[in-house]
Amino acid sequence: MAQVVVVTGAASGIGAAVARHFGGLGAHVVVADIDKAGGEAVAKEVGGLFVRTDTTREADNLALIATAVETYGGLDLVHLNAGVGDGGGFAEDDYDTERQHRVLAVNLHGVMFGLHAALPALAAHGGGSLVVTSSMAGASAATFDPVYAATKHGVIGLVRSLAPTWQEKGVRINAICPGFVRTSLLPAETVDYLVGEGFAVAQPAEIAASVAEIAAGEEAGRAYVLQAGRAPDPVSFPKFELVRTGA
């Protein structure tokens, strides 16, 4: 039976590449994006279904998952990939509350809404995999966009905190932390600069292949750094034990 795969932010970039990857494997792909024209084009290309989705609205997330289940009878994989950058900094000439709220709404609240909608549906179908797009900025400092970095750190915290409970219900939750990727988040001049400086810039298709590999695995609660030409590299987090009285 063909897999049922939902991908948010799938009208372009990594999301579109993931949709194409699974479409090529014969999956039923549900393409979700706020960009109607782009999303419909990708859905047509992969023989899937487009559902216009504003991930910052909880109702849209619930409707997306409900539509996927009603149309195809279940759910196997959800990739919560939608994201934006440029939350600004904290200097007087770069502090913008509206920009901050937008990045928080898409990158963090949108993921929360997506998790809330998708996790019970995956469990009800007998389990499956959920992958969230974080960033290398979620596992390290990112002075160029601290608000973006904060949301991506938050995404990893969600994944690590939710994974144990939902793994018991058959749902594996993991995060990907891409490095430099040729998407609309990186202007062409930035890509040219990075390549000129000798940095590797991945193609979205390469990231999509890694998403498929992670989704098919047995691990849960992991965050994987994805860089051009390298296998998924799990992030090592420190382990702490609570101090007991008298210890």
Of residues 205 and 195, more confidently modeled: 205
Active site residue 135: yes
pLDDT digits (tens, 9 = 90+) for 69-79: 999 999 999 99
Examine the pLDDT at 198 and tell me if it is beyond 70: yes
pLDDT on residue 59: 98
Residue 223 confidence class, pLDDT cut points 50, 70, 90: very high
Examine the pLDDT at 29 and tell me if it is beyond 60: yes
pLDDT on residue 183: 85
The DSSP output letter for 105 is I
pLDDT on residue 247: 57
Domains and CATH numbers, the chain: 4-231 (3.40.50.720)
The Cα–Cα gap between 82 and 13 comes to 10
Residue 93 confidence class, pLDDT cut points 50, 70, 90: confident
pLDDT on residue 45: 98
Q: To the nearest whole percent, how much of the chain has pLDDT over 70? A: 100
pLDDT digits (tens, 9 = 90+) for 35-71: 999 999 999 999 999 999 999 999 999 999 999 999 9
Active site residue 95: no
Q: Report the chain's mean pLDDT, rounded to a whole number.
A: 95
pLDDT digits (tens, 9 = 90+) for 163-196: 999 999 999 999 999 999 988 777 788 888 888 8
pLDDT on residue 193: 84
Active site residue 152: yes
Alpha helices, H only, the chain: 13-24, 36-46, 58-72, 97-104, 110-124, 146-167, 188-196, 204-216
- Total-model pTM: 0.95
